[in-house]
Amino acid sequence: MKTLRPAMVVLLALLLLAAASCGPDRKDVSDGHGRITVVTTLFPLYDFARAVAGDRAVVTLILPPGVEAHAFEPKPGDMARVNSAQLFLYTGRYMEPWSEKLLKGIANKTLIIVDTSRGIKLMRSGEEHHEGSQKDHGNGHHDHGAYDPHIWLDLGNATKMVDTITEGLCAADPQGSELFRKNAAAYRERLSALDAKFRETLGTCGKKTIIHGGHFAFGYLAHRYGLEYVSAYEGSPNAEPTARKIIALKKKMDENGIRYVYFEELINPKVSELLSRETGATLLYLHGAHNLTRDEFEKGATFITLMENNLENLRKGLECR
């Protein structure tokens, strides 16, 4: 049996060290030969992460286009994808109850898991919105029927989520921190400009009530801009609105001269259509941004463009100047 010369031993050690430095646990991807992998649960997180990470990360979305977020069930392939990632972004058990089950099966001990709802107060599902109707996330165990988890529809919350995502990216790829913070600052400016546009436009509306034939999703948006929001489904989109609820919606529309009723993406618009037939109201689209339709995804829709379209339909439906 041959023995290795000292010089060969040193050379072999250097080669092993170099190989290890290029392995999957390497955090320095600044040389451009590797990018961190980020897996997200919902479209807003996917879009925020892409805006902040730029070319330093491969960002993927678990939800396939056209699939409703609340009823989604992860497949083994989804678990494998998360298991091989460096960063996992989600919004918590209220929006994606399946995320906790998915994470229990993850063996990757170096995976950085970020709850992007951290530091954001959850609003109770219901028609009235005021400061007392919000509750710190994580106090007790409640389902989607008790709390509204669509936090990103408040652009102030969206900004906080961008900051939390930026922290996660910096932890996963410290060498990219300067770029991430620069991109995040630019994106926050875009959100701030959009928020100002919402305030300016919605401050001129003749009507102040959003009538929605879908599930309770737009409470944060209404609360931020001083609007009343009434939804046919007070909790889960799997629930059915009562006849009493539909009659109350029709009465409210008649009494307040409301001529528009909203429906949302990926939810059967049957209640909105019923209200439209009963009152002669026009249907308008309001996007909750949970996920995209396949057509929206292929056309490159972004969170910003979805919200701009929402503002235009709110301007029309609320009769703003």
User: Which 8-state DSSP code applies to residue 281?
Assistant: P
Q: How many Å apart are CA 61 and CA 45, to the nearest integer?
A: 9
pTM: 0.84
Question: Can you tell me whether residue 196 is helix, strand or coil?
Answer: helix
Choice between 13 and 212, residue whose per-residue pLDDT is larger: 212
User: Across all residues in the chain, what is the average pLDDT?
Assistant: 85
Q: Which residues of the chain form CATH 3.40.50.1980?
A: 25-197, 203-317
Q: How many Å apart are CA 108 and CA 119, to the nearest integer?
A: 26
Report the residue count for the chain: 321
For the sheet containing 87-90, what is the strand order? Answer: 57-61, 36-40, 87-90, 112-115
Long-range pairs for 95-98: beta carbons < 8 A, 24 or more residues apart: 95/41, 95/42, 95/69, 95/70, 95/144, 95/149, 95/150, 96/41, 96/42, 96/69, 96/72, 97/143, 97/144, 98/72, 98/73, 98/74
Q: Please list, in sequence order, all residues whose beta carbon lies within 8 angstroms of the beta carbon of residue 281, skipping any fewer than 6 positions away.
A: 211, 253, 258, 259, 260, 261, 275
| 6 pLDDT more than 60 | no
Count the neighbouring beta carbons within 10 Å of the beta carbon of residue 295: 10
Domain 203-317 - what CATH class?
alpha beta
Q: How far is CA 198 from the centre of its chain?
A: 19
Q: How many Å apart are CA 275 and CA 212, to the nearest integer?
A: 10
Q: Residue 94's pLDDT band (boundaries 50, 70, 90)?
A: confident
pLDDT at 317: 98
| 237 pLDDT more than 90 | no
Helices (H), the chain: 6-21, 43-53, 76-83, 97-104, 155-172, 177-202, 219-224, 243-256, 270-279, 294-298, 303-317
- Indicate the CATH number for domain 25-197: 3.40.50.1980
Q: Please list, in sequence order, all residues whose beta carbon lies within 8 angstroms of the beta carbon of residue 303, skipping any fewer than 6 positions away.
A: 43, 44, 47, 48, 152, 158, 289
> For the residues 309-314, what does the mean pLDDT come to?
98
| 143 pLDDT more than 50 | no
| 214 pLDDT more than 60 | yes
